[in-house]
Amino acid sequence: METLQNLALGLQVALSVNTLMYCFFGVLVGTVIGVLPGIGSIAAISMLLPITYYLDPASALIMLAGVYYGAEYGGSTASILLNLPGTTSAVVTCLDGYPMAQKGRAGPALFMTTIASFLGGTVGVVVLVAVSPLMAELALTLRPPDYFAVMVLGLVAAATIGRGSPLKGIAMVVLGVLLGCVGMDANTGTYRFTLGRYELIDGINLIVLAMGLFGVAELIASARLVGAGRIRHRITLRSLMPTREDWRRSAGPMGRGTAVGSILGAVPGAGLTIASFLAYALEKRISRTPQIFGKGAIEGVTAPESANNAAAQTAFIPTLTLGIPGSPTMALMLGALIIHGIQPGPSLMGQHPEVFWGLIVSFWIGNILLVLLNIPLIGVWVRLLQIPYTILFPVIVGIICIGVYSINYNPFDVFSVLVFGVIGYGLRLIGFDAAPLLMGFVLGPIMEVYLRRGLLLSGGDFVSFMTRPISGTLFVVTAVVIVWAMWNHVRQSRRAAFGVNDSAA
Closest separation in Å from C-beta 294 to other proteins: 29
Interface with other proteins includes 177 (CB under 8 A)?
yes
Number of chain positions touching other proteins (CB under 8 A): 65
Longest dimension (CA), the chain: 70
Three-class secondary structure of residue 41 per DSSP: helix
> Among the candidate windows 38-46, 278-286, 375-383, 427-435, which touches other proteins by CB under 8 A?
427-435
- In terms of CB distance, is 166 or 265 closer to other proteins? 166
* Per-residue contact flags (x/-) with other proteins for residues 226 to 255, judged by CB under 8 A: x-----------------------------
Closest separation in Å from C-beta 296 to other proteins: 33
Contact 10, 357 (CB under 8 A): yes
* Per-residue contact flags (x/-) with other proteins for residues 447 to 466, judged by CB under 8 A: -x--xx--xx--xxxx----
* Per-residue contact flags (x/-) with other proteins for residues 210 to 229, judged by CB under 8 A: ------x--xxx-xx-x---
Interface with other proteins includes 468 (CB under 8 A)?
no
Count other C-beta atoms under 10 Å from residue 241's C-beta.
Answer: 11
Interface with other proteins includes 17 (CB under 8 A)?
no
Count other C-beta atoms under 10 Å from residue 253's C-beta.
Answer: 28
Q: Which of 47, 49, 52, 50 is nearest to 36 (CA)?
A: 47
Q: What is the DSSP string of 177-232?
A: HHHHH-EE-TTT--EES-TT-GGGTT-S-HHHHHIIIIIIHHHHHHTT--------
Interface with other proteins includes 432 (CB under 8 A)?
yes
Quick one: how far is CA 220 from the chain centroid? 22
Burial bucket for residue 306 (CB in 10 Å: 0-12, 13-18, 19+): buried
Angle between helices 435-457 and 328-339 (to 10 degrees): 60
- In terms of CB distance, is 155 or 270 closer to other proteins? 155
Interface with other proteins includes 171 (CB under 8 A)?
yes
- In terms of CB distance, is 415 or 484 closer to other proteins? 415
From 1, 17, 285, 431, residue interacting with other proteins (rule: CB under 8 A): 431
Closest separation in Å from C-beta 108 to other proteins: 35
> Among the candidate windows 68-76, 123-131, 168-176, 258-266, which touches other proteins by CB under 8 A?
168-176
- In terms of CB distance, is 9 or 399 closer to other proteins? 399
CA distance 439 to 446: 11
Interface with other proteins includes 316 (CB under 8 A)?
no
Angle at 120 between CA 276 and CA 357, to 5 degrees: 120
CA distance 478 to 152: 7
489, HSE (Cβ side, Cα atoms, 13 Å)? 17
Of residues 40 through 79, those in contact with other proteins by CB under 8 A are 51, 54
Interface with other proteins includes 174 (CB under 8 A)?
yes
Closest separation in Å from C-beta 391 to other proteins: 6
Of residues 386 through 415, those in contact with other proteins by CB under 8 A are 389-391, 393-395, 397-402, 405-406, 409, 411, 414-415
Contact 217, 42 (CB under 8 A): no
What letter represents residue 352's amino acid?
Answer: H
Quick one: how far is CA 467 from the chain centroid? 34
Q: Which residues bind other proteins (CB under 8 A)?
A: 51, 54, 165, 167-168, 170-171, 174-175, 177-178, 181, 185, 187-188, 190, 192-193, 216, 219-221, 223-224, 226, 389-391, 393-395, 397-402, 405-406, 409, 411, 414-415, 417-418, 421-422, 425-426, 428-432, 444, 448, 451-452, 455-456, 459-462, 497
